[in-house]
Homo-oligomer: A and B are copies of this chain.
Amino acid sequence: MLDVARAAQVSVATVSALINGTTRVSPALTQRIEAAISAIGYERNAIARSLKLGATKTIGLLVTDIRNPFFADIVATIQYALNRVGYAVMVCSSDEDTALQDMQIKLLLDRAVDGLIIAPAGEDVMLKDFLASVRRPMVIIDRTCEGLDADTVTLDNRKAVLDATSYLVGLGHRRIGYIAGPLITSTGRDRLSGYRDALTEAGVPYVEELVQGGDSREAGGYRAAMQLLTQRDRPSAIFSANNLMTIGTMRAIRDAGLSCPDDISVACFDDFPWADVFRPHLTTIAQPVQAIGEYAANLLLDRLFGQADEAPRRLVVQGRLIVRESCRALARP
């Protein structure tokens, strides 16, 4: 900018004024400055600008796994919503690893992001103190973090699983296997409680051995499903608590030489874009992904522009059970 100013024989203040349109600049100088800019090929240094303005117009987004289509969708939506208003998005993936998660957050903070959107991994309790120490606008998505004063966008997980389980019960299923996500997360607990509540409502006894813990990845889903499928009194249906574990579940069913829905019914959390194209056509709970992303972006923008000290807002959205063909009705005995 100094070079431009010299070439145009004006002060840097005038160049800055012209570029930012903060003050009127006479036509004569405007022309000279513009000529100098294009002659030199000047590009404003964004770092110096950020330093002076105290904002980077960048937000950090941390998810547990970009490869998970659910989060890929979330990332795309948030990215789009924030780009529209001039913000860039720095994406990190914690791979469900709390140590990595801490590193990533530090990495983001060290890039001086103006705000954060986080889908937390690992145990709430551990994370809480760490996040509380981050003095930056922040919204938590997907899972909650008990006791943390931050905006959140979450699904009504209990209700969603309750609906799906009730649907299975309605088809006549009594032994329903449940492949759970990690119970150290609010999501894992809420979804499981939906399952329990549905059974209770229907008067079906809750059987400990029908609930198997997965790790929310494909491998965990596979192990858990195998456990269920090899029990002497095999369940007639399985509910899988997230999309990656569902893939593992289906692989286990295949490896066990069984067929869905003939030998075993399957319902699961999270929809797939191809669910009605490949067989078995899965019955799923679809999350309103777009809405979650938009809400998260908007909550953060509100904080960035507006009242930073307002009470935290907690948005809860509803899932939707999409019935396809992976669950069959049991004949009444």
In this assembly, does A75 line the interface, its C-beta being within 8 Å of a C-beta of chain B?
A: yes
> Of residues A47, A250, A276, which shows the largest number of chain B Cβ atoms within 10 Å of its Cβ?
A47
- A54 (CB) vs chain B CBs: closest residue: B47
Give Cα A120–Cα B270 distance, bound, in whole angstroms.
31
Q: B47 contacts A66, CB within 8 Å?
A: no
Expressed in whole angstroms, the minimum distance between the Cβ of A257 and any Cβ of chain B is 14
Cβ of A245 to closest chain B Cβ, rounded Å: 12
A68–chain B nearest beta-carbon distance, Å: 8
Which chain B residues lie closer than 8 Å to A110 at the CB level?
46
Determine whether A108 belongs to the interface, using a CB cutoff of 8 Å to chain B. Answer: yes
State whether the Cβ of A37 lies closer than 8 Å to any Cβ in chain B: no
**Complex partner residue of A250 from B91, B93, B274, CB under 8 angstroms:** B274
Q: Chain B residue with minimal CB distance to A282?
A: B278
Residue in B closest to A51 when the chains form the complex, CB atoms: B47
Q: How many chain copies?
A: 2
Task: Return the contact of A90 from the options B75, B90, B93 (Cβ within 8 A).
Answer: B90
Collect the chain B residues with CB atoms within 8 Å of residue A287's CB. Answer: none
Which residues of chain B come closer than 8 Å to A58, judged between CB atoms?
A: 90, 111
CA distance A277 to B278 in the complex (A): 10
Q: Is the CB–CB distance between A218 and B273 below 8 Å?
A: yes
CB closest chain-B residue, reference A289: B67
Contact code string A273-290 (vs B, CB < 8 Å = 1, else 0): 110111110000000000
Residues in A19-56 with C-beta less than 8 Å from chain B: 43, 45-48, 50-51, 56
Cross-chain contact A112 with B47 (CB below 8 angstroms): yes
A104 at the interface (CB under 8 A from B): yes
Residues in chain A within 8 A of chain B (CB atoms):
43, 45-48, 50-51, 56-58, 65-67, 69, 72-73, 75-76, 79-80, 83, 86, 88-93, 103-104, 107-112, 218, 247, 250-251, 254, 273-274, 276-280
Given A51-B51, A69-B69, A254-B276, 11 other A-B residues pairs in contact with their CB atoms under 8 A: A43-B109, A47-B51, A66-B72, A67-B72, A72-B72, A80-B93, A83-B104, A88-B111, A90-B91, A91-B91, A250-B278
Q: Which 4 A-B pairs have the closest CB atoms?
A: A278-B278, A91-B91, A250-B277, A72-B72
